[in-house]
Amino acid sequence: MLSNNDILKKLRVALSLRNDDIIEILALVDFEISKGALGDIFRNADHPGYVEAGDQILRNFLNGLIIYKRGRLTEPKPNTDRDID
């Protein structure tokens, strides 16, 4: 089974993202992380500085990625075409 670290690594490679891009994506959902902390997530699992990525960082990254790729969701316009009795 893939860990959250593996998923983040694979997405980083597949989308050609740099660490600065990932920090920017996380900032879109008000999640701040330092370059050093992000680097610890991308280390090999046998490295002494390795940190396991929790569900929160993966969830925030995926939510930020939606905004990064599509833009922010605009407020839906109220439907004024309905008949009100």
Mean pLDDT along residues 31-36: 96
Mean pLDDT along residues 26-50: 95
pTM exceeds 0.85: no
**What's 3's DSSP letter?**
-
HEC states along 5-34?
Answer: HHHHHHHHHHCCCCHHHHHHHHHCCCCCCC
Please report which confidence band the pLDDT of residue 43 belongs to, taking 50, 70 and 90 as the band edges: very high
Q: Is the pLDDT of residue 25 over 90?
A: yes
Q: Is residue 8 within 8 Å of residue 43, measured between CB atoms?
A: no
Higher pLDDT, 21 or 76: 21
Q: Is the pLDDT of residue 42 over 60?
A: yes
